[in-house]
């Protein structure tokens, strides 16, 4: 991945507070639902495990604020947990 691509991806990152994560087992893609009513796809293996590992499990991810980006198909390509200073 080139530096230019990485910089463009960072510029397109969005903020979202996780409302829920779910999808059919074995489908390959799940959805991350955000409190503002938006959602994006997430790869159901590696992506879901990464979020679960970050917060201990998927239940603990609810209400957490993340910065994320998606590809042109709406699949989350990266995310970053951020401090919850906006909720105060």
Task: Report the CATH number at residue 43.
Answer: 2.40.50.340
Q: What is the DSSP letter of 82?
A: -
Which of 32, 18, 14 is CA-nearest to residue 68?
Answer: 14
* Residue 18: count of CB within 10 angstroms of its CB: 22
Question: Residue 2: is its pLDDT beyond 60?
Answer: no
Residue that the structure tokens 């779910």 belong to: 22
What is the spatial distance between Cα 3 and Cα 26, in angstroms, rounded to a whole number? 34
Evaluate if residue 84 carries a pLDDT over 90: no
Q: Which domain holds residue 83?
A: 3-87
pLDDT for the residue 3 = 45
State the pLDDT at residue 26: 80
Of 3, 9, 8, residue with least CA distance to 68: 9
In this prediction, residue 8 carries a pLDDT of: 52
pLDDT in tens, 30-83: 999 999 999 999 998 888 999 999 999 999 999 999 999 999 899 999 999 997
Q: Please count the structural domains in the chain.
A: 1
CB 86 within 8 A of CB 30: no
């Amino acid at each position: 991945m080139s530096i230019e691509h990485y910089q463009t991806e960072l510029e397109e990152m969005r903020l979202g507070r996780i409302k829920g994560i779910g999808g059919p087992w074995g489908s390959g893609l799940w959805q991350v639902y955000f409190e503002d009513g938006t959602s994006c796809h997430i790869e159901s293996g590696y992506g879901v495990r990464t979020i679960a590992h970050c917060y201990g499990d998927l239940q603990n991810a609810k209400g957490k604020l993340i910065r994320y980006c998606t590809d042109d198909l709406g699949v989350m390509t990266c995310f970053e947990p951020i401090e919850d200073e906006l909720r105060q």
